[in-house]
Chains A and B, each alone.
Chain A
Amino acid sequence: MPVKKRSAASSASSKGKRHPDDIFPMVLTSATQELFGCLADEDVTGENPHKLLRKDDIIQDIKTRAAVSDFSPVKQIVLDYPEDELLLVFDRDFVYGQCFYLVVTPEAKDRILNPPVLQTEEVFKNEVNKTPEPQPWIPQGSEREVDAEADTETREKLRYKFSRVRRNFGSPVCFSDRNTADAKDGYLECASYQDSRFSIKQMQRDCGMQAVPRLQSSSAQTQWKFQRNVFTQYVPRQLSDEEKENVLQSDSLKKFCTSVTPRILHTLQQVQIANVFVDSWKALGAGVEDGDWAGKVYEDLALYQAFTDQKYTNNKKISTVNWHPTIYGVIAVALMKEKEERESESTPSFILFYSFSDPSNSQLLLECPDDICAFEFCPSDPNIIVGGCINGQVVLWDISAHVIHLQGTEPRSKKVSIDTDTYDLDDNKEKTPTVHYSALSAAESSHKAPITDIQWLPPTFEVTRTGSPAENKYKISVQFVTCSPDGWIMFWDLRVQKATRQPVIDAKQTTPRSDTFKHLDRMWKPLFRISLPKINTSGEYLPLKFSLEHYTCSGNKTEDDDEINDSSEVPDYSQLRLPSAKTLTALEDVNTKLYIGTEDGEIVYADWKPVRDESGRQHSGKPLHCYRVHDGMVNTVQRSPFFKDIILTMGSFNFAIWKEGVMEDLIIQSPSSEQICTAACWSLSQPAVFFIGKKDGSIEVWNLLEKTSGPAQVQAHVTDAKITCIKPWTASSKQHFLAVTDDQGLVRVLEIPKTLHSSSRSKGSSVKKYFQLEEDRLHFYLQKVDEWEKLKKEAEEAKKRTEPEKSPKEKDQPTVPSVQEWRDHQMLEESVLKEHRLWTPPANTQDT
């Protein structure tokens, strides 16, 4: 029904909008308005549009005026209205189409009468200032949970009333406790048990965790008990100059000086009087090394090793031995066949190299065209070896390609044969590497007799074609000197000589050889040669051994010497050219004199510098001196390694020591020995010691400081055969060796004991003094001899003068006593000379 009315109302009004359901627009006539006291614009106005009407009044009105009443359309509404008063609102603006509307529901009435709070802010503010009133409880559903949790009685409480028997009323009651478990069935329990139906495995359990870092705080306190500086940097305190001046001028310093000076001077004098730093005991020279006293025990030369190679040394004797100058423990020996063998067969000759690591096998072989009597290593390049043959030719080897065989200590089994293209099918046999000679001198220009001595010229000077010494530009040894009993001493050069340019191409070579000296092969001629004509007679001296002075360049280029000596470059000998004499600076201070030992036992002192004679040609001059000292062949002429003017010469039965510069005679001569001496050499470490090898295989050690009348030590039976060569060598400060070779092809290396090789500084000076002493003695003696000669002459002359005065009639008579006197005098002379060991038997041809 309201819908109809609304729609009717809405269709009726032109500007009214649809009104809500709870109000009803209606028209009230003025009579109704008067009746209810709601006259428009009088009782109800725009500001106060509300009017409450009593329901009963409205019903009364409806009853009285029935259909005419304005309230007739709302009659039902009014009757249904629960409350007593209805709201009538004056709708002045005709919002809902009529001038009044009746609120139907009490809620709307309330709403209109009491508009909601949110309408205006002022209303809200007013409400905030007030203390909030407790809101009525609005249940959200929590009362259900509360009810569930609350304990409620499910049944009524049971009440039991206990009473005692009447007779016990008033009597005290005694209550006691009783445990339920005391009586059986005192209680009934319903124990819990694990019901298997309800075993629920807890799959997940929430547990709370809080990670707490494990912290532990601790502290330490070091106790720096011992305070100590680790590093300090300090600067010494110094006084400034003014302060120093002040102090210097102060009075106290003066007093100090005056008081202190006497003490100091006294002490200084004390030190001068007795030098406390000199250890007198030590200065006595009582140390082991210094002891030269007789009674010192000499240790023997101990055999270190013996070398032999069965393949090559059978029935051969060793002519000479040499130590390799640079490689430790390598010895080279030259083998010589016996005389009979030489003529019968012509097996090749060898120079064998032995190494300490392999005493029974040779390491390297040098093939020689013939037996070698002498060979030497080149001092500036130890890979060059020059040897003198028994037929007079000079042979040259270059072992630079094979030197590795000598250096390594590998066993021989590892070595492979170097002959790859050889027709020798027996390759299984281990062959010692063989080196063919690189060059051979021209047969016609060589010696005619075996070369007995070869010496390299030191790298400090060289010799030109004319024989004058000149400066050696390259500082390498390229020249050497040979001597032979054919009477010639030849100077050879390794370099290309101008005349010969075309090397002869050799036929098929069986063993490879180096090409180092191809330029020399077959055409090698000596640079120049000198002969040794005898001084007083005709003929020539036949040199066997010689010694020249090792000249050390005293020039300015000493550093260059060291540099070039250290450089390992091997010069290409084929490229070296013989310089012309003009380009080289002549060296004036080279000692060009040689000491030569001859076949007859003479010692010849000659100058190899040729002299110009009247015709302008140069020829070798006559030797300066000749001394007849030894009987038999001279087998050693050697300069002392310590003094360059002391020479040891060794004959068959005795030796002599010469000092260069003392032209008159030798300074020391040994007594003759019973055995033939065959080899001699100076010791390398002690200036007064030298070794002599004998024919019976014994070695004598001579120490000039100890005694000169005999050897200091004799070691017999070092070898079983004749000793052919002795060479010493210093391997290290502890190891001193002596190589001894004999007639049977065996090389023995002996170790020199410490007593013989340890040297002291004082020895050199004492030896020098000794030689000087000897020289002085010699001079003194010669002087005395001169004087004596003079006296003798005067006596003779006096006699001669007295003789003619006597008449010839007394010729016979005076002659007899004079002859007698002469004979006496001769005997005296003989005895005196014999005493001084200068007795020379008078001969018709005397060489003095």
Chain B
Amino acid sequence: MLTDANCCFQAEVEETLKRIQGQKGVQGIIIVNSEGIPIKTTLDNSSTVQYAGLIHQLVMKARSTIRNIDPQNDLTFLRVRSKKNEIMIAPDKDYFLIVIQNPSD
């Protein structure tokens, strides 16, 4: 019974990822835990590790910035636009989701 629930959870996660991946221009998705260790990814290992490490620091910085300005505020979404693509980060209490999108595709 527990296994069923677990499968169901995993399927939900997979389904979510598929939905996001199916959007136009999405290059990759990474789920990272609160320490910055990637949990699930659709990119190759080296890119995943690089993104996870760098973006984790960025998110921590951004979150602390928001909370320093107003302690009752919190970071809900972070978008980093660059020349070539856009990185979207949705932080949460324990994890955060990184999506890399290239809109011209």
Name A residues whose Cβ lies closer than 8 Å to a Cβ of B. 236-239, 244, 247-254, 256-261, 263-265, 267-269, 271-272, 275-278
Contacts and interface: CB of A to CB of B under 8 A. Distances in A.
B23 interface: yes
B49 A258 contact: no
A248 B13 contact: yes
17 contacts: A237-B36, A237-B37, A238-B38, A238-B49, A250-B9, A253-B39, A253-B95, A254-B12, A258-B12, A260-B90, A264-B99, A267-B77, A267-B88, A271-B25, A271-B101, A276-B103, A277-B103
Contact of A254 (B9, B77, B88): B9
B63 interface: no
A264 B79 CA distance: 10
Nearest to A251: B9
A774 B6 CA distance: 67
A258 B8 CA distance: 13
A268 B23 contact: yes
B86 interface: yes
B104 interface: yes
A247 B52 contact: no
Interface residues of B, number: 41
A268 B77 contact: no
A254 B5 CA distance: 11
Given A248-B10, A268-B20, A268-B23, A277 B104 contact: yes
A238 B35 CA distance: 10
Contacts of B53: 236
Contacts of B99: 264, 268
Contacts of B12: 254, 257-258
Given A256-B94, A260-B90, A263-B90, A271 B37 contact: no
B37 A239 contact: yes
A236 B49 CA distance: 7
Given A271-B103, A272-B24, A257 B52 contact: no
Given A239-B37, A256-B95, A267-B88, A275 B103 contact: yes
The interface centre, meaning the residue of A252, A271, A278 with most chain B CB atoms within 10 A of its CB, is A271
A528 to B, nearest CB: 54
A272 B25 CA distance: 9
A258 B101 contact: no
A258 B16 contact: yes
A244 B10 CA distance: 11
Given A249-B10, A257-B16, A258-B12, A244 B49 contact: no
Contact of B20 (A238, A251, A264): A264
Contacts of B72: none
B99 to A, nearest CB: 6
Given A238-B49, A248-B39, A260-B92, A267 B103 contact: no
Those 6 A-B pairs whose CB atoms lie nearest each other, nearest first: A249-B6, A260-B90, A236-B49, A257-B16, A268-B23, A254-B9
Interface string B70-105: 000000110101010010101011111101010110
Contacts, number: 101
A750 B24 CA distance: 52
B79 A253 contact: no
Contacts of A272: 23-25, 103
Contact of B13 (A253, A259, A267, A277): A253
A260 B53 CA distance: 20
A239 B49 CA distance: 11
A269 B29 CA distance: 16
A249 B9 contact: yes
A260 B25 CA distance: 19
Given A256-B95, A272-B103, A275-B104, A244 B20 contact: no
Contacts of B26: 268
Contact of A264 (B33, B35, B97): B97
A660 B38 CA distance: 60
A270 to B, nearest CB: 9
Contacts of B97: 256-257, 260, 264
Nearest to B15: A257
The interface centre, meaning the residue of A244, A264, A265, A267 with most chain B CB atoms within 10 A of its CB, is A264
B81 to A, nearest CB: 7
Contacts of A251: 9
Given A238-B49, A268-B20, A268-B99, A263 B76 contact: yes
Nearest to A238: B37
B9 A267 contact: no
B84 to A, nearest CB: 8
A188 B67 CA distance: 109
Contacts of B37: 236-239
A502 to B, nearest CB: 69
Contacts of B40: 244, 248
Nearest to B33: A247
A293 B37 CA distance: 56
A279 to B, nearest CB: 11
Contacts of B19: 261, 265
B36 to A, nearest CB: 8
Nearest to A252: B94
Given A238-B49, A244-B40, A277-B86, 10 more contacts: A236-B52, A251-B9, A253-B9, A253-B94, A253-B95, A258-B16, A271-B101, A271-B103, A275-B103, A276-B103
B31 to A, nearest CB: 8
A281 to B, nearest CB: 16
A247 B103 CA distance: 31
The interface centre, meaning the residue of A239, A260, A269 with most chain B CB atoms within 10 A of its CB, is A260
B41 to A, nearest CB: 10
Nearest to B50: A236
Contacts of B92: 256, 259-260
Contacts of A257: 12-13, 16, 97
Contacts of B76: 263
B40 to A, nearest CB: 7
Nearest to B23: A268
Nearest to A237: B37
B39 to A, nearest CB: 5
A282 to B, nearest CB: 13
A325 to B, nearest CB: 39
Nearest to A255: B92
A278 B81 CA distance: 12
Nearest to A247: B39
B77 A263 contact: yes
A244 to B, nearest CB: 6
Contacts of A268: 20, 23-26, 88, 99, 101
A254 B20 contact: no
Contacts of A264: 20, 88, 90, 97, 99
A276 B33 CA distance: 30
Contacts of A238: 37-38, 49
A239 B39 contact: yes
Nearest to A234: B53
